[in-house]
Amino acid sequence: MVDDLDSLFDKGLPKGRKSMSFLKSAYDCGAQGLVNRSITDKVLQQSGLAFHIGTDDPTMRRVASWLLTNYEDRIEELVKRLWKRCGREDVKLIGLLFANTEGDAWAKMLSTINKGLPLDLILEMAEEIKRSGREVPRVEFLSSFNENKIQMQNAMLIASLDMKEEYVQLVTNAPKGGELFERIRMRALNA
């Protein structure tokens, strides 16, 4: 049985800017957008993201898998376009792509995120990279991402995923964040 997403995939990924509207259509395949609409509208107002459709994880994984299977040579270009548009699903897709392509996914993540995003989205991206079998980097690596407050905070969040003694100073010295960020910091330091 062919579903809406398979029918969309059959058309193939267009070139250039049209690829972005194609991917947004892919995010919206299925009923999840209608089910989550009232929740996502409220979340979007406070997030700083371009949009938040409410696409479920299985759909996001299918989109990522399809792209990696059929358009691996276009992933770098797509990541740049997705980041520029910066919808919630775009950021989730970037995390899935980083986690499942060659190269240093942690460096890609820390280098790409240059503006504030919802904390759960950053953690989701980091956890996806960790689930892909990559170890949390050494403190020297994480400490090298210190160009701005966002990089330092994101390095702290990554360290908190596998808290070790070597991360204590990095976690302690990370710039102050919101209430949830500070709870993560305290939990990491008390682990």
Model-wide pTM > 0.85 = yes
Residue ending a domain, choose from 78, 101, 124: 101
Q: Can you give the pLDDT at residue 32?
A: 57
111 and 68 in a common domain: no
94 and 146, same structural domain? no
Domain that includes residue 84, residue range? 1-101
Instruction: Answer yes or no: do 62 and 44 share one domain.
Output: yes
Tally of domains in the chain: 2
What does the block give as tokens for 175?
């710039």
One domain for residues 87 and 110? no
Quickly tell me which residue has 């062919």 as its tokens. Answer: 2
Q: What pLDDT sits at residue 51?
A: 83
Other C-beta atoms closer than 10 Å to the C-beta of 95 total 26
Q: How far apart are CA 22 and CA 172, in angstroms?
A: 43
Same domain? 77 vs 114: no
| Residue 91 shares a structural domain with residue 51 | yes
Q: Identify the sign of the CA torsion 115, 119, 125, 129.
A: positive
The predicted structure's pLDDT at residue 34 = 46
Residues of the chain where predicted confidence (pLDDT) is lower than 70: 1-2, 30-48
Q: What is the predicted pLDDT for the residue at 1?
A: 46
Q: What is the pLDDT of residue 48?
A: 67
| pLDDT at residue 92 in the model | 96
